[in-house]
């Protein structure tokens, strides 16, 4: 299907969908929405968007017709029905159906979904902006369907040959754009408007700030003025449909283009994050699986794994053999430092938990199809440890990312560790100088497959180990100092 529409359980080609006239959206624009990009049939930042969608509905007291998990499952299933996996995924809920009256209609709201082909800009080409006084109401933090001011601003931008309109309040405070957030770089610091009731807390904005933290770029959530906008070293526009753009002209006046290095670091980081999170399964397999060397991929067992020569480093995941190149010296240094700090902490505690450093075999699912070698792991159930391997899921796992294993560690092993019962997983990226910390939670009634919480830490911030109630903290700034001293980076 090229373009899909969905309404309360019915779906079909978008242009053929029919909506009741008594849907309250027709009378009052009474609803909220959210949206985001999809690539290779993988919806980007879906948890963040759905959480914001539910927050917006809650602020307007709209009763959601589905749970968060039901909505995510529905969206993931619908995108698979499309001709292309590169899409803009839009969804809204309106406050039910009824004869026109201002007071609320009782009952659950109406769920709408539209899927349209779309591509994400790579951010190379600068855009032009116009300014417009912000005459909107004081609930801009809610993603409502009342978008007439944004429609008028977008039309003004179009009439002036511009991509976006920048709103400003009386007195000159810049708030946001008609359908984007706007930020400035000045003297190496990124400034962005605070998330008060005058702006929408953009998901792309949140990713931008996390990128700043990962890249050690200072940022301030402070209001800035039109004068600041025109004097900025760079003007950056972010949204879920265009992750990172720069402006070179506002109201016909040239702006920015004075800190290309910082902009490029941010742009590349955000695009790389998006591409990694939305990589197709076949992309991962193409990178990770040498099919000619292992013709029976998917059917290999632990016996096949153990029969390989001792000097051949591989992992076995669900019957698929993945080659592992020899780790680099920075990789070994970081893994060794983490292991040493964990060992020191656990010796002081004198508890049951035991740390391990690669190479050690972990028979993750306790079946004959998977054997992995985490860079560092901690096992707190000593019955899982025998003389040849760890039998079952460790409690804590660390993988130090390298170019040859990054896709496997991010997309395959992250899911595998979750399903096997690992409680906490860290992905340490020496190139980006970040730590992706993931806490896995046991299944509940609301999350039958379990839930996870991800945080991204720059090396400059100490990272607490969650399974030890944050008592153990890994100070990556010290590790980084050793890394930079030894390798001149």
**Per-residue DSSP letters for 167-222?**
EE-TTSEEEEESSSEEEEEETTEEEE--SSTTS---HHHHHHHHHHHHTT--EE--
Q: What is the CATH number of the domain that holds 55?
A: 3.30.470.10
Residue 122 belongs to some domain of the structure? no
**Is 196 in the same domain as 63?**
no
**Is 305 in the same domain as 252?**
no
**Is 304 in the same domain as 268?**
no
Q: What is the CATH number of the domain that holds 256?
A: 3.20.10.10
- Which of 70, 92, 117 is the last residue before a domain boundary? 117
3-class SS of residue 440: strand
Specify the number of domains making up the chain: 3
The span from the first CA to the last CA of the chain, in angstroms, equals: 49
Element (H, E) at 27: helix 24-28
Residue 289: what pLDDT?
45
Q: What is the CATH number of the domain that holds 393?
A: 3.90.1570.10
- Which of 117, 142, 176 is the last residue before a domain boundary? 117
Cis peptide bond prior to 382, omega within 30° of 0: no
Residue 295: what pLDDT?
65
Catalytic residue among 68, 81, 143, 156: 143
**Is 301 in the same domain as 448?**
yes
Residue 145: what pLDDT?
83
Kindly report the backbone phi and psi dihedral angles of residue 444, in degrees, each rounded to the nearest multiple of 5, phi listed first: -130, 180
Non-local (6+) Cβ contacts of 250 within 8 A are 128, 129, 130, 131, 166, 229, 230, 235
**Is 256 in the same domain as 307?**
no
Per the annotation, the verdict on 143 as an active-site residue is: yes
Kindly report the backbone phi and psi dihedral angles of residue 371, in degrees, each rounded to the nearest multiple of 5, phi listed first: -145, 115
Residue 257 belongs to some domain of the structure? yes
Residue ranges of the chain with per-residue pLDDT less than 70: 280-295, 442-451, 483-489
Element (H, E) at 313: none
CB 14 within 8 A of CB 5: yes
**Is 297 in the same domain as 360?**
yes
Range of the domain at 141: 127-277
């Amino acid at each position: 299907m090229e373009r899909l529409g969905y309404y309360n359980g019915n779906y079909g080609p978008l242009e053929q969908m029919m909506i009741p006239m008594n849907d309250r959206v027709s009378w009052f624009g009474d609803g909220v929405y959210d949206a985001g990009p999809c690539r290779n049939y993988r919806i980007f930042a879906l948890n963040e968007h759905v959480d914001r969608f539910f927050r917006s509905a809650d602020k307007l007291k709209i009763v959601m017709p589905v749970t968060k998990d039901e909505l995510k499952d529905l969206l993931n299933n619908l995108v698979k029905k499309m001709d292309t996996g590169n899409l803009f995924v839009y969804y809204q809920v309106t406050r039910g159906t009824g004869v026109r009256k201002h007071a609320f209609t009782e009952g659950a709201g109406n769920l709408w979904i539209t899927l349209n082909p779309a591509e994400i800009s790579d951010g190379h080409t600068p855009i032009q902006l116009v300014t417009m006084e912000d005459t909107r109401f004081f609930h801009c933090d809610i993603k409502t369907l009342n978008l007439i001011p944004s429609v008028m601003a977008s039309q003004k931008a179009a009439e002036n040959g511009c991509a976006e309109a920048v709103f400003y309040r009386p007195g000159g405070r810049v708030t946001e754009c008609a359908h984007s957030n706007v930020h400035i770089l000045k003297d190496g610091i990124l400034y962005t408007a605070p998330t008060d009731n005058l702006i929408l807390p953009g998901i792309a904005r949140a990713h931008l700030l996390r990128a700043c933290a990962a890249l050690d770029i200072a940022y301030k959530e402070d209001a800035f003025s039109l004068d600041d906008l025109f004097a900025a070293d760079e003007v950056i526009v972010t949204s879920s449909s265009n992750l990172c753009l720069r402006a070179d002209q506002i109201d016909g006046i040239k702006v920015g283009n004075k800190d290309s290095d910082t902009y490029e670091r941010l742009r590349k980081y955000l695009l790389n994050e998006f591409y990694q999170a939305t990589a197709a399964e076949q992309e991962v397999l193409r990178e990770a699986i040498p099919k000619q060397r292992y013709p029976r991929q998917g059917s290999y067992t632990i016996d096949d794994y153990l029969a390989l020569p001792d000097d051949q480093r591989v992992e076995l995941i669900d019957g698929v053999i993945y080659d592992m190149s020899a780790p680099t010296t920075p990789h070994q240094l970081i893994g060794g430092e983490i292991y040493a700090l964990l060992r020191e902490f656990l010796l002081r505690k004198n508890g049951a938990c035991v740390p391990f450093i690669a190479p050690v075999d972990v028979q993750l699912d306790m079946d004959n199809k998977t054997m992995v070698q985490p860079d560092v792991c901690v096992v707190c159930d000593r019955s899982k440890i025998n003389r040849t391997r760890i039998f079952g899921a460790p409690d804590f796992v660390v993988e130090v990312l390298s170019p040859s294993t990054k896709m496997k560690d991010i997309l395959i092993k992250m899911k595998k560790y979750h399903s096997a019962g690992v409680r906490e997983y860290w992905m340490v990226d020496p190139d980006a100088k970040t730590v992706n910390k993931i806490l896995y939670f046991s299944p509940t009634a609301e999350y039958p497959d379990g839930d996870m919480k991800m945080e991204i830490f720059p090396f400059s911030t100490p990272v607490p180990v969650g399974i030890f109630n944050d008592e153990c903290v890994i100070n990556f700034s010290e590790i980084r100092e050793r890394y930079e001293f030894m390798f001149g980076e």
